[in-house]
Amino acid sequence: MFSDAWKTGRLHAEFQTETTAPANIAWVKYWGKKGPQLPANPSLSLTLTESRTHTILQATPASDLKLELWFQGQREEKFEKKTLAFLASLAAELPSLGHAHYKITSRNTFPHSSGIASSASSQAALALALGELLAHISGTFADINAVGSLARLGSGSACRSFFPGFVTWGETSLIQGSSDLHAMDVTPQVHANFHGAKDCILIVSSKEKTVSSRAGHGQMSAHPYAHARFAQANLHMSEMWHALTTGDWQKAGNVMEADALSLHALMMTSRPGFVLLEPGSLEIMRLVRLFREESQVPVYFTIDAGPNMHLIYPHEAHAKVEAFVRHELLRLTENGSGVIWDGMGTLT
pLDDT tops 60 at residue 348: no
Give the pLDDT of residue 35: 83
Share the mean pLDDT of the chain.
93
151 and 203 both lie in a single domain: no
- Our measurement of the distance from residue 46's CA atom to the centroid of its chain's CA atoms, rounded to an integer in Å, reads 9
d(C-alpha 279, C-alpha 294), whole Å? 23
Residue 286 φ then ψ, to 5°? -60, -45
Average pLDDT over residues 302-311: 94
Question: 212 or 13, which is more confident?
Answer: 13
Where a domain ends, among 134, 169, 204?
169
Identify whether 178 is part of a domain. no
Give the pLDDT of residue 148: 92
Q: What is the pLDDT of residues 315-341, one digit of tens each?
A: 999 999 999 999 999 999 999 999 999
102 and 203 both lie in a single domain: no
Cβ-count burial of 272 within 10 angstroms (0-12 exposed, 13-18 middle, 19+ buried)?
exposed
Question: 233 or 114, which is more confident?
Answer: 233
Identify whether 234 is part of a domain. yes
β-bridge partners, 38: 34
Give the pLDDT of residue 18: 98
117 and 232 both lie in a single domain: no
Give the pLDDT of residue 7: 85
76 and 162 both lie in a single domain: yes
40 and 145 both lie in a single domain: yes
Give the pLDDT of residue 219: 85
Q: What is the domain count for the chain?
A: 2
151 and 296 both lie in a single domain: no
| The pTM of the whole model exceeds 0.85 | yes
Four-CA torsion 122, 128, 129, 131, nearest 10 degrees? 140
Where a domain ends, among 151, 169, 187?
169
Domain containing 222 equals: 195-343
Give the pLDDT of residue 178: 96
Q: What is the pLDDT of residues 2-53, one digit of tens each?
A: 888 888 889 999 999 999 999 999 999 999 999 888 999 999 999 999 999 9
Give the pLDDT of residue 182: 92
241 and 129 both lie in a single domain: no
Give the pLDDT of residue 113: 60
Contacts of 276 (CB under 8 A, 6+ apart): 115, 209, 210, 211, 264, 267, 305, 306, 307
Assign residue 11 the CATH number of its domain: 3.30.230.10
289 and 147 both lie in a single domain: no
Cβ-count burial of 6 within 10 angstroms (0-12 exposed, 13-18 middle, 19+ buried)?
buried
